Structure 1
């Protein structure tokens, strides 16, 4: 409960500062809100399932850089390599490297929220959607997701070179962002909203009723030589519980509502969300494939505030946001679905720097 109280306090404080800024026609409160988000993120310790893995990765990169050992595949994502090179001489390089990732990620989210005038709801969705936890856990992809969310503006503005630039910037953090390159042309697809909604709900219902998609992806993944060994060792495909399947069905309702109410001019966001929803539902249990959908489904950072501003959809969308909030509260209280971000701990605790919690 203490961690839940802390997270809600931070969220409400940030939203309150933004509201104060809006009422007083100043940016100071907005800047203060993002400073709080960054500080809370930087001083965290052993928060995120992959935190200890990042510690080892950064130590290994530092060792290679200091001894002029070729990086090989360890250097495939330049951002973490560059940051490790910069901070390799500090006492705790991993703190600075992971902190820099958070600053970059939150910085791009700030730009996206500023572009869409949605700081208050953007911050709220950042918490209750779990994207903040993903930034703390999957630091590299968290940066890539934030960059892509910002880069969507260049698809809308039909600025190909700028979009390509930001995609390759995202690739520097996580190579999977390269898959977003063809999405520049997604604006040319006219959304068929009722078809999209029908597909999402049918898939969500099918997912809740059977394990068909789990077995499908298991057979596909284990037929690929690289993933054959990964599947058993790291549970890249796993049977998900009925409770989680019902959650996915609720997500399907949320995504369907957003798609239904988004204005026709927002075809980029509509198509992004539809593709992400289909991948997420079908890949439930196939974790690495499901992570691809994060680039698309987290466009809800922008689309939910847009729908909430529309009077005809406000009540429905508020109900959906309340549902997401209840799932968030439940996750933090029970420490499920939080990507290892509960309980919260800092570099000022007695656990730093030699204790690392056991990961299941």
Structure 2
């Protein structure tokens, strides 16, 4: 636990230093530290054992595409290349961590005025569960960041290419097509539309809890996610993550000018779809969580936008932002009990 608190404090100090000195290159230090933290782990975090098995279950190039292993072909192809090079799983994990974080840092550096502030929030909200756990979903969500430019410019072909690449690592990336349609053809910014979409999501959420109505349309591979009690015990409307997301969404809508900012309005719209996804998939905690994840990623832009524009005093806003991020870290990682999946932190270097 001490290591994660140390990393949290380090990222906090790097964020403050970036604001004071105005040097965006500070984010490279934070990104490098997080890459090492995720890449050098040994049986720490979610899904380490299954990913280890995926790597060693590959017997040839045919296993990348024949569906024998329960993972997407792009991810398996990277595994296969490392096997052919004679490298082990731990070399692969280290490479994958630097690849994921490298893509994230590059995007933040090019698109955020203070990328270390965003990275600090990302660590508190997403990093441990994703980059130290569900790494396929993590890199898919990070790749999707690069599609937003084409979404805004209505360059459908380029947008679909990026989404397709992301889907090679996690199939849920395909749901981002809904984001394209909503942003470019459905969104009108009215309260009437917001109300309608909430009611629609609630109706679907009620239906989804009766799998006999639609299970015939679900591929056999995914059927357990809709019927197995291990995956259908979600809290639905009592989900604290849902309420936190709604608080951030409506806070930005009511107390900032986010609708007038062309870039952040898109982030805000995509983030709204995260809450709708959680509502629409009712008690299906795993399905709802995974399908909402690509949209939830934009919280790392919307939450800072809300807090850093909360008052006219920039120093007060910065203090509020740092305090808010501390609360998020405590809620998501500590008070939720998730920390037990990450301790002790072991590495091959021990």
- Structure 1 position 279 matched with structure 2 position 277: yes
Asked if residue 245 in structure 1 is aligned to residue 239 in structure 2, the reply is yes
Quickly say closer, same or farther: Cα 1:123–1:28, change in 2 above 3 A.
closer
In the alignment, the residues of structure 1 paired with residue 348 and residue 274 of structure 2 have an alpha-carbon distance, to the nearest angstrom, of 36
Task: Identify the residue that residue 256 of structure 1 maps to in structure 2.
Answer: 250
- 8 Å CA contact 2:307, 2:321 repeated in 1: no
Distance across 2 between alignment mates of 1:202 and 1:324: 31
Confirm or deny that 1:58 pairs with 2:51. Answer: no
The residue that corresponds to 2:26 in the other structure is 29
Structure 2 residue ranges without an equivalent (≥5) = none
**Aligned-residue offset at 1:39:** 0.7
TM-score by length of 2: 0.79
Preserved CA contact (<8 Å) 1:154 1:162: yes
Give the RMSD, CA atoms, in angstroms: 3.7
What residue in structure 1 maps to residue 176 of structure 2?
A: 180
Alpha carbons of 1:269 and 1:346: their partners in 2 closer, same or farther (altered >3 Å)?
same
SS of 1:301 mapped into structure 2: helix
1:192 aligns with 2:193: no
5 Å-filtered alignment, 1:1-360, equals 3=1, 5-21=2-18, 23-24=20-21, 26=23, 28-61=25-58, 63-65=59-61, 71-74=65-68, 77-88=72-83, 93-114=88-109, 115-185=111-181, 186-192=183-189, 194-195=191-192, 213=206, 216=209, 218-219=211-212, 222=215, 224=218, 226=220, 227-231=222-226, 233=228, 235-240=230-235, 245-260=239-254, 261=256, 262-264=258-260, 265=262, 266-283=264-281, 285-286=283-284, 287-312=286-311, 322=323, 325-333=326-334, 336-337=337-338, 340-349=341-350
Total equivalences in the alignment: 337
Aligned counterpart, 1:358? none
Between the aligned partners of 2:64 and 2:23, the Cα distance in structure 1 is 49
Shift of 1:141: 1.1
Between 213-222 and 271-280, report the one with greater CA deviation: 213-222
Using a 3 Å threshold, how does the CA distance of structure 1 residues 198 and 296 change in structure 2: closer, same or farther?
Answer: same
Give TM-score, length-normalised by structure 1: 0.77
1:197-216 alpha-carbon deviations (Å, 9 max, x no partner): 65798899x89xxxx74972
